[in-house]
Structure 1
Amino acid sequence: MTGGRGLLLRLAVAPVVAVLVVLVAVLLPELTGVDAARTVLAARYADADPDPALLAGIRAELGLDLPLPQRIAARFGALLGGDPGTSWVSGEPVAALVGPALRVSVGIMLGAAVLSFLVGHLAGLVAARRPGSVLDRAISGLVRVFSAVPEFALAPLLVLVFAVGLHALPSSGWRGPEYAVLPLLSLVPSLAVPIAAVTREQVVALRRENFAVAARARGLGETRIWAVHLARPALPAALSLLTYNAAGAISGTTAIEVVFDIPGLGSTVVEAVRAQDVPVVQAGLVVAALAALAVGAVGDLLGLAAEPRARREART
């Protein structure tokens, strides 16, 4: 199923996927075999011996002495109700830890998505203007180079040049707009590359279509032909790639947050994994998955709005 009906089907399936993600997160402690009581004991009493009575008290406090189905049902209901619980390590509400981290990650991801779309779509249009020209070959070469360089490999190079060599930008932290420059520069190339490639191929193909030839024959200006008859029809494919890559960029954002010591969702979850702080890991995974689903849904809606044929298919 394609077109508007396919988009609507994906939107309808998204809530089912969200529920399955929550279920997997709930089952995480059972799948990993983590002894929650020992984790909490180590966090609260670093030098304490694993006294059976103390461990039993912690298990009762966490509800781990309940039967497995009851534990799963209680945790599943809590997560679905928006209550991620408290951290096993710090004792703070998980929402107080994940909320600010999510805002940082969303800001980075949205900034990278907007910049990558502008750069990628413009680069694709420029390359398609004269296929086979020096400029087209140069842009295609950059596309191939950056498609082979992952974010976590590009980030240290940028730090070496702009932070260590030129002393122009900070190398780590999150205390002002200047701290976002290198993380965004690390993320944008890999996101812009597929958009540039797809835009170029779409526009080169559209230039040969009858409507483009007819528009030139009617004497329409080249700027109008490119803006209305070429660039606009190429938007749905570019938007689809943008949202698909932005949803997948959550993992790339995690690597960037670790490299640049940014207090985002990815680095928070990484630290929670190291500390075996399962409630924080559960909440982080659920929030990341829901964010990816939301980005995908927004992309589907944008694609539906940008393509009249898809809107007609959705109404029928």
Structure 2
Amino acid sequence: MNLFKRYFIRRSEPAVGTDLVWTERDGSSKGMFFIRFKRHKLAVAGVFALCVIALCAVLAPFITAYAPTTVTDSFGEGPSWKHPLGTDLVGRDMLSRLIYAARVSLAVGIGAVAISAAIGTVLGLISGYVGGWIDGIIMRITDIFMSFPYIMLILVVSSIVGPGLLNIILILGVLGWPGVARLVRGNVLSIKQMDYVKASVVLGFRMPRILFQHILPNTVAPILIYATSGVALAILDEAALSFLGLGVQPPTPSWGNMLASAQSLTVLLSQSWLWLPPGVLIIITVLSINFIGDALRDTLDPKNNK
């Protein structure tokens, strides 16, 4: 143990004439992560935008003057001091519905990705580490899922299961795991050849301990990067399903079913407050998540030392 400590300390110290080696000993690796992340100005703006949207969604009852289902005496009126974003054709305050709809979109994005990442990570770890016929079965099931057009599969399953917030989260989560599984499997195939993994096997560690304590921590970065794009895609999928009437159903507000009210040419041309705010928020949210994902990819890439 003493030899290991001396070796670790010696390896952690920067050699003369070489670049500084960041270590976890003094927390400098975390500082380096934030320094490199802050260089991506669009990602920083994306973090700020997402924080504002999430904060408004959490504090919605304290921000809005109306409940999202409250019908006022104003029907289809434009923006005013009483209703900053106007009212819809039923008389509901658009600002209240927009803020409460952010809860739905964020819940779908985070919930669906959490489910798909959990399923895909476990299957990818088992498939890549065990190999053999187990790997063959898991990968053939993955190929079957990925052989179907993704959006068509979602539409078919949604029409069978039925609309609703919980159903949409489960559908998107259960159908979104193949990409994560293939990503994790590829990383495991290379990581399990490392000396520290072979040493764990020689020492007699159980497979769950090797997978979740030694291999998984070195696979978190690509999973995290993949998850950011997955959240953006899930938000877009929910909006599309709600727009088609297969997602979140009124009177529960979502950005997708708010856009559904703008299917007529009259609304598009003369009542832009009904579709422009939810459309802009979808664009801002998806772009912010994508910017953050790009920044994480560059920041966590060990080959990028800039």
For the aligned residue pairs, the C-alpha RMSD in angstroms reads 4.0
1:193 corresponds to which of 164, 175, 178: 178
8 Å contact from structure 1 (residues 152, 255) kept in 2: no
Q: Give, in angstroms, the shift of residue 8 of structure 1.
A: 3.2
Higher RCO (C-alpha 8 Å, min separation 6): 1
2:24 matched residue in structure 1: none
Equivalent of 2:218 in 233, 248, 259? 233
Q: Partners of 1:159 and 1:62 in 2: how far apart?
A: 35
Higher helix share: 1
Is it true that 1:271 corresponds to 2:261 in the alignment? Answer: yes
Residue 10 of structure 1 is matched in structure 2 by 40
Which amino acid counterpart does residue 250 of structure 1 have in structure 2? I
Under a length normalisation based on structure 2, what TM-score does the superposition of the two structures give?
0.63
Residues 240 and 16 of structure 1, relative CA distance in 2, 3 Å threshold: closer
**Is the aligned partner of 1:252 residue 2:237?**
yes
CA drift of 1:202 comes to: 0.2
Q: Distance in 1 between matches of 2:171 and 2:272?
A: 30
- Per-residue Cα deviation, 1:172-197 (whole angstroms, up to 9, x for no partner): 3x4xxxx623x234312443221111
CA contact (8 A) 2:142 2:178 kept: yes
CA–CA distance in structure 1, aligned partners of residues 115 and 176 of structure 2: 9
SS of equivalent residue, structure 1 residue 232: helix
Q: Secondary structure at the match of 1:248?
A: helix
Q: 2:278 is matched with which residue?
A: 284
Give, in whole Å, the separation in 2 of the partners of 1:148 and 1:6. 38
Q: Paired residue for 1:180, among 166, 173, 176?
A: 166
Contact 1:191 1:246 in 2 (8 A): no
Task: Tell me what 1:110 maps to.
Answer: 110
Q: CA deviation at 1:91?
A: 6.4
> Once the two structures are aligned, what percentage of the paired residues are identical?
17
Paired residues of 2:45 and 2:288 also in contact (CA < 8 A) = no
Match of 2:121 in 1: 121
Q: CA deviation at 1:117?
A: 1.0
Structure 1 residues 293 and 89, CA gap change in structure 2 (3 angstroms): same
Matched, 1:86 2:86: yes
1:204 to 170, 177, 189: 189
Describe the SS at the equivalent of 2:139: helix
Deviations along 1:107-159, one digit per CA (max 9) or x if unpaired, are 2222211111111111111211222x222122212222322434542245335
Note if contact 2:128-2:135 (Cα within 8 Å) is conserved in structure 1. Answer: yes
Q: 1:308 to 1:223 in 2, by over 3 A?
A: farther
Q: Give the drift of 1:87.
A: 4.3
Residue 272 of structure 1 aligns to which amino acid in structure 2?
A
Q: TM-score, normalised by structure 1?
A: 0.61
Read off the aligned partner of 1:146 and give its amino acid letter: F
Kindly indicate whether the alpha-carbon contact (under 8 Å) linking 1:151 and 1:186 is maintained by their aligned counterparts in 2.
no
Q: CA deviation at 1:199?
A: 0.3
- Aligned AA (2:140): G
- Which letter maps to 1:120? G
Instruction: Tell me the amino acid that sits aligned with residue 281 of structure 2.
Output: V
Unaligned runs of 5+ in 1: 20-42, 45-57, 64-82, 164-170
Q: 1:160 to 1:100 in 2, by over 3 A?
A: closer
Residues 95 and 209 (structure 1), Cα distance of their counterparts in 2 relative to 1, 3 Å cut: same
